[in-house]
Chains A and B, each alone.
Chain A
Amino acid sequence: MTSRKSVLVLGGSSDIGRAVARAFAKAEYDVGLAGRSVAALEPDAADLRARYNVEVGLHTFDVLDIASFEGFVAGLPALPEVVISIVGLLGVQQQAESDLAHATAIMRSNYEGPALILGLLAEKFLSRGSGTLVGVSSVAGDRGRASNYVYGSAKAGFSAFLSGLRARASRGGVHVVTVKPGFVRTRMTEGMKLIGPLTVEAPVVGAAILRAVENKTDIVYVSAKWRLVMLIIKTLPEVVFKKLKF
Chain B
Amino acid sequence: MTLVSGWGRFPVVDSDVLRPRSLEAVAEAMVSGTVARGNGRAYGDAAIGVARTVAMTGFDRIRWFDPATGCIRLEAGVLLSDLIDTFGPRGFLPFVLPGTRFVSIGGAIAADVHGKNHHCEGGFGRYVDSILLRTGEGETIEASREQNSDAFFATIGGMGLTGIILEATLRLRKVETGWIRERVISASDLDAAMRALDAGDAATYSVAWIDCAARGKDLGRSLIYLGEHAGKDELPAGAAAFPAGKDPGLGVPIDLPSMTLNRFSIRAFNELYYRMGARRAGRSHVVSLYPYFFPLDSIADWNRIYGKRGFLQHQCVIPENGARAVLGEILDRVARRGDASFLAVLKKLGQGDGILSFPLPGYTLALDFPVRGDILNFLDDIDRLVVAAGGRLYLAKDARQSRETLNAGYPALSRFNAIRKSLDPAGNIRSKLSQRLFDEV
Contact = CB atoms under 8 A, between A and B. Distances in A.
Interface of A: 26, 43-44, 46-47, 50-52, 187, 190
A51 B62 CA distance: 7
A51 B82 CA distance: 10
Contacts of A44: 61
Contacts of B64: 46, 50
A43 B21 contact: no
B19 A51 contact: no
24 contacts: A26-B86, A43-B61, A43-B63, A44-B61, A46-B61, A46-B62, A46-B63, A46-B64, A47-B61, A47-B62, A47-B63, A50-B62, A50-B63, A50-B64, A50-B65, A50-B72, A51-B62, A51-B65, A51-B86, A51-B87, A52-B86, A187-B21, A187-B58, A190-B19
Interface of B: 19, 21, 58, 61-65, 72, 86-87
A26 B87 CA distance: 11
Most buried by A among B61, B63, B64, B86: B61
Given A50-B63, A51-B87, 12 more contacts: A26-B86, A43-B61, A43-B63, A44-B61, A46-B61, A47-B61, A47-B62, A47-B63, A50-B62, A50-B64, A51-B86, A190-B19
Most buried by A among B58, B62, B64, B72: B62
Contacts of B72: 50
Contacts of A46: 61-64
Contacts of B61: 43-44, 46-47
A63 B124 CA distance: 45
Nearest to B89: A26
B15 to A, nearest CB: 16
A204 to B, nearest CB: 10
Contacts of B65: 50-51
A43 B21 CA distance: 12
A159 B379 CA distance: 60
A25 to B, nearest CB: 10
Contacts, number: 24
Contacts of B21: 187
Contacts of A190: 19
Most buried by B among A43, A44, A50, A52: A50
Nearest to B73: A50
Contacts of B58: 187
Contacts of B86: 26, 51-52
Which A-B residue pairs are the 7 nearest by beta carbons?
A47-B61, A50-B65, A50-B62, A51-B86, A47-B62, A50-B64, A43-B61
A187 B62 CA distance: 20
A45 to B, nearest CB: 10
Contacts of A43: 61, 63
A44 B62 CA distance: 8
Nearest to B66: A50
Most buried by B among A26, A44, A47, A52: A47
A120 to B, nearest CB: 30
A36 B21 CA distance: 17
Nearest to B90: A53
A43 B62 CA distance: 8
A22 B86 CA distance: 10
Contacts of A47: 61-63
Contacts of A52: 86
A51 B58 CA distance: 17
A26 B88 CA distance: 13
A47 B86 CA distance: 11
Nearest to B19: A190
B439 to A, nearest CB: 30
B240 to A, nearest CB: 16
A117 B61 CA distance: 29
A26 B65 CA distance: 16
Contacts of A51: 62, 65, 86-87
Contacts of B62: 46-47, 50-51
A47 B64 CA distance: 7
A26 B244 CA distance: 14
A152 to B, nearest CB: 26
B85 to A, nearest CB: 9
Nearest to A46: B63
B52 to A, nearest CB: 15
A44 B63 CA distance: 9
A43 B22 CA distance: 11
Contacts of A187: 21, 58
A15 to B, nearest CB: 8
A190 B87 CA distance: 30
A52 B63 CA distance: 12
Nearest to A204: B247
B99 to A, nearest CB: 23
A48 to B, nearest CB: 9
